[in-house]
Structure 1
């Protein structure tokens, strides 16, 4: 039995599975660290008493310390989520269990699941590299290359990249750290502030969507040029909720690259810039992928 935990900013999904076959799933609201993590541990302890858990995988919102050599490994770093900075995610969730465990960001986990079982695995030539972007309450990005997630000094934080602004777009952004980074421009809260209403109420014909598409396209072009990822998957409530927006982004990506990447043309961009094949299950399955790697003895860093 494997346990997977997808710790999100609004809810936690806790899974028990044999391989990728999910046997049980429980959803817990994300409140305070003490309340939330203790409820997750209670679920795991109940399952562990029924059948021993062989490994645990944790995909968490961030930023979070992933360097096992660091004294604050598995601890939440400064975050806009009130009360969560300094929370010991890995230690709290794994201390009661004598089994291997692995932690990564939720978007890195989702990227890994898509690489192994989703968009990266379909077609005649499976992908060896992809980026998974989620656009929702925030903007996060994970990378899976050659079967592994990507880390360095930290984990990728593409949500806080600044992009060139569309001419005439005077929206100041809403990121508390950087103002008009990509998260401050296109996340759900940013759209609500930019348009003056929640995203699902915005008229698809509103011309300001063109500025949003431009911002996202600049991010995608930066990723394609900077990492050589074969695919960029755009998920999350905003990312998967507007097919017409995705088409705008694709056209703008091709125009921005100007033919410099010959494989990114109008004929092929639909296969390169696309939605996650696993949909909203990429994150939970990513946590299970991390549990599998923990069982196989792989390191997080």
Structure 2
């Protein structure tokens, strides 16, 4: 099984990362395909995989998307702001072209799985993976299983208390919520406040970083209290290129105010951590989805 070639697709809103590799985390090939028209994009993705000889494919898709196999929309993109992709059958389009077993989940759940299989959540049974970039997404693993429920976690859209210093106004970076985490901390919100600047251009602005870290800390406290994870892992461009993670750790301790007393919280620097796989956690998680799909196919489940 470990030498069986697998396929991985990290399907993002701006690019599709396609890769082949093995269950041990070895990546053989990896390329990027721009995300454009859904039909043409998926044709290009299928063409890339067609002659690779993969035994199974793992797909981590941008959301919202239907991840419950019992759903009539399983494998479809749902109410995304990318209107051309709404209700597009991403999974079905690839299964019909490639005819291999497929595993399917969200991109952030896949990243969480990658960290659990090969990274800093390995050996844990409950973890949260948060990515902060153009948007904010969260993958959640509970008792070793990726969390789905009625759909999948949309923990990037939890509602937060506005900081009175915030100049963002009534329109945040999210078209749905004026005070959700994504609307307050992701790339579009940063550009809206600070004259179209990128997060890395503000990394030395103490007041800006304190504001963003405060919102991140509110969210991390909510995840801590609701999911009780053994570790929270944070990635994405905003987190990777600014000090907000380290700043948020101290704020989390202050907000918890001694209510949670565990070894994890006592060692906050190893409880809230940055991603550990150099940006490959999504692809590695997709390879694990592919391995599981092949295993189910072999066992007839």
TM-score (norm 2): 0.91
- Taking the aligned partners of 1:72 and 1:206, their CA distance within structure 2 comes to 45
Q: Do the aligned partners of 1:235 and 1:279 also contact (CA within 8 Å) in 2?
A: no
Task: Report Cα offsets for 1:22-60 as digits up to 9, x if no partner.
Answer: 22222111112112111000011121xxx3x21110001
Question: How far off is 1:200 after superposition?
Answer: 2.3
Question: How far off is 1:182 after superposition?
Answer: 0.7
Task: Report Cα offsets for 1:203-251 as digits up to 9, x if no partner.
Answer: 5224132121111000000000001011111100011212x32121000
- Taking the aligned partners of 2:151 and 2:234, their CA distance within structure 1 comes to 22
Q: Do the aligned partners of 2:20 and 2:28 also contact (CA within 8 Å) in 1?
A: yes
- Taking the aligned partners of 2:274 and 2:239, their CA distance within structure 1 comes to 8
Q: Per the alignment, do residues 264 and 63 of structure 1 end up closer, same or farther by CA in structure 2, a change over 3 Å counting?
A: farther
Cα RMSD, aligned residues only:
1.6
1:4 paired residue number: 8
Which of residues 15, 26, 30 in structure 1 aligns to 2:31?
26
Q: Does 2:10 align with 1:13?
A: no
Question: How far off is 1:70 after superposition?
Answer: 1.7
- Taking the aligned partners of 1:44 and 1:63, their CA distance within structure 2 comes to 25
- Taking the aligned partners of 1:10 and 1:120, their CA distance within structure 2 comes to 27
Long gaps (5+) in structure 2: none
1:178 paired residue number: 177
- Taking the aligned partners of 1:288 and 1:118, their CA distance within structure 2 comes to 14
Q: Per the alignment, do residues 269 and 203 of structure 1 end up closer, same or farther by CA in structure 2, a change over 3 Å counting?
A: closer
Aligned residue runs from structure 1 range 222-233, under 5 A: 222-233=222-233
Q: Does 2:40 align with 1:35?
A: yes
Question: How far off is 1:267 after superposition?
Answer: 4.9
TM-score (norm 1): 0.91
Long gaps (5+) in structure 1: none
- Taking the aligned partners of 2:31 and 2:119, their CA distance within structure 1 comes to 23
Task: Report Cα offsets for 1:143-183 as digits up to 9, x if no partner.
Answer: 12233211100000011111112233242312111122110
Counting matched residue pairs gives: 289
Aligned residue runs from structure 1 range 102-121, under 5 A: 102-121=103-122
Question: How far off is 1:117 after superposition?
Answer: 1.1
1:152 paired residue number: 149
2:237 paired residue number: 237
Q: Does 2:47 align with 1:46?
A: no
- Taking the aligned partners of 1:128 and 1:255, their CA distance within structure 2 comes to 26
Query: Secondary structure of the residue that 2:286 maps to in structure 1?
Result: helix
Q: Do the aligned partners of 2:203 and 2:241 also contact (CA within 8 Å) in 1?
A: no
